[in-house]
C-alpha cells in the first residue's frame, strides 16, 4: 500500500545467505587455493572486512600478500603482518567506528591466540590427540567424525538436533551429547519421540569412551542387596526369637 514490501523471515534469510554466498565466491577467486586452507575464523574476518571495505582485502593489496604468504609458509609472522595491516593501515581517516570494527576483525583473524594453534590447513588437534567422552555428559562438536573418521565401536552415537527454532527444549538439551545403544537418554534414541527430527551422528574415532566405573555400579548394587539381606536377617532373627530357638 505504502510502497513497502513485507518480507518473511525466510525471505530475509534467503537474501542474506545469497549475499554471503556471492562474497565468499568472490573471495575464493581472489585468494585461490589459499582460501580453503584458512580457518573458519580467518575466513569470517576476511569476509567481514570485504563486506565493510572490499578495497582493503582484494587482489593486489598488502593484506592479501601477507595472508597468501602465511598459508604458503605456515609462518605466523605473516598472519601478524596481515592483522597489523587490517587494524592500523585500513583507516587513514582514523574513524572511530571503523577503528572499533577493525579491532574486532583483527581479533577474529588472530588464530595464534587459540590454545591449540597449528599451521594453516592443519588440523587444530594433533594426530595423537584423543577426547575423553563420558556418555550422557560430554558434548562433541559437529562433524568431527568427518575429520577423524567414525569410531569403530558402533554402540555409541552423538545426538544431533536440526538446530532450528522448532527443536523442543528437551531435545535441544541433548545436542552433541554421546549415548550408547544400550543406555538411551530419558526420551529414548533420536527419532523415538513423537515427530522427532533428531539424528544419530557417528562418534569420532579419537573418542575414548569412559563408561561409569563398574565398581561404583557394583557397590551400589551390593548395598541394596546388603540392605535386603540385612532386613531378611532381622526378620529371621525376630522369627527365631519368637519361636524361641
Ligand atoms: Zn528430536
Domain locations along the chain: 9-113, 126-212, 216-245
Q: How far is the CA of 192 from the centre of ligand 1 (A)?
A: 8
- Per-residue pLDDT, 213: 54
| Exposure class string for 83-111: b at 16+ Cβ within 10 A, else e | bebbbeebbeeeeeeeeebbeebbebbbb
What is the SS3 assignment for 130? coil
Q: Which residue has the cell 541433548?
A: 174
Q: How far is the CA of 147 from the centre of ligand 1 (A)?
A: 25
Q: How far is the CA of 201 from the centre of ligand 1 (A)?
A: 13
**How many angstroms separate the CA atoms of 218 and 140, rounded?**
29
Contact 122, 138 (CB under 8 A): no
What is the SS3 assignment for 200? strand
Q: Which residue has the cell 513485507?
A: 6
Q: Using pLDDT thresholds of 50, 70 and 90, give the confidence band for residue 132.
A: confident
For the chain, the average pLDDT equals: 83
Q: Which residue has the cell 523442543?
A: 168
Number of helices (H) and strands (E) in the chain: give both, helices first. Answer: 9, 5
Q: How far is the CA of 83 from the centre of ligand 1 (A)?
A: 42
Q: How far is the CA of 144 from the centre of ligand 1 (A)?
A: 20
Q: How far is the CA of 166 from the centre of ligand 1 (A)?
A: 9
- Per-residue pLDDT, 16: 79
Q: How far is the CA of 155 from the centre of ligand 1 (A)?
A: 20
The CA-based angle 189-190-195, given to 5 degrees, is 120
Q: Which residue has the higher pLDDT, 224 or 79?
A: 79
Ramachandran region, residue 97 (left: φ > 0; alpha: ψ -120 to 50; beta: rest): alpha
- Per-residue pLDDT, 237: 45
Packing angle, helices 62-73 and 9-31, rounded to 10: 70
Q: How far is the CA of 196 from the centre of ligand 1 (A)?
A: 4
Closest CA to 108 of 51, 167, 148, 49: 49
Neighbours of ion ligand 1 (CB under 5 A): 171, 196, 198
| pLDDT over 70 at 125, yes or no | no
Q: How far is the CA of 20 from the centre of ligand 1 (A)?
A: 29
**How many angstroms separate the CA atoms of 158 and 143, rounded?**
10
Q: How far is the CA of 154 from the centre of ligand 1 (A)?
A: 21
Cell of 103: 579491532
**How many angstroms separate the CA atoms of 70 and 119, rounded?**
9
Q: How far is the CA of 72 from the centre of ligand 1 (A)?
A: 44
Q: What is the mean pLDDT of residues 33-55?
A: 90
Q: How far is the CA of 175 from the centre of ligand 1 (A)?
A: 9
- Lowest-confidence range among 5-9, 14-18, 120-124, 194-198? 120-124
**How many angstroms separate the CA atoms of 208 and 240, rounded?**
54
pTM of the model: 0.54
Amino acid at each position: 500500500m505504502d510502497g513497502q514490501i513485507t518480507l518473511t523471515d525466510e525471505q530475509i534469510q534467503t537474501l542474506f545467505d545469497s549475499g554471503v554466498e556471492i562474497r565468499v565466491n568472490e573471495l575464493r577467486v581472489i585468494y585461490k587455493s589459499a582460501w580453503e586452507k584458512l580457518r573458519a575464523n580467518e575466513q569470517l574476518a576476511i569476509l567481514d572486512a570485504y563486506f565493510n571495505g572490499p578495497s582493503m582485502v582484494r587482489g593486489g593489496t598488502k593484506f592479501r600478500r601477507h595472508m597468501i604468504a602465511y598459508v604458503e609458509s605456515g609462518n605466523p609472522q605473516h598472519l601478524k603482518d596481515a592483522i597489523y595491516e587490517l587494524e592500523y593501515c585500513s583507516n587513514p581517516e582514523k574513524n572511530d567506528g571503523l577503528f572499533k570494527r577493525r579491532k574486532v576483525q583483527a581479533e577474529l583473524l588472530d588464530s595464534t591466540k587459540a590454545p591449540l594453534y597449528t599451521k594453516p590447513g592443519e588440523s587444530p588437534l594433533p594426530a595423537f590427540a584423543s577426547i575423553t567422552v563420558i556418555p550422557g555428559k560430554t558434548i562433541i562438536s559437529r562433524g568431527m567424525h568427518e575429520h577423524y573418521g567414525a569410531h569403530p565401536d558402533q554402540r555409541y552415537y552423538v545426538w544431533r538436533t536440526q538446530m532450528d527454532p522448532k527443536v523442543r527444549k528437551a531435545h535441544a538439551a541433548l545436542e552433541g551429547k554421546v549415548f550408547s545403544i544400550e543406555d538411551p537418554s530419558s526420551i529414548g534414541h533420536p527419532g523415538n519421540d513423537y515427530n522427532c527430527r533428531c539424528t544419530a551422528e557417528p562418534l569420532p574415532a579419537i573418542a575414548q569412551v569412559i563408561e561409569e566405573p563398574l565398581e561404583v555400579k557394583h557397590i551400589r548394587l551390593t548395598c541394596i542387596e546388603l540392605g535386603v539381606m540385612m532386613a531378611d536377617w532381622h526378620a529371621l532373627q525376630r522369627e527365631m526369637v519368637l519361636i524361641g530357638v
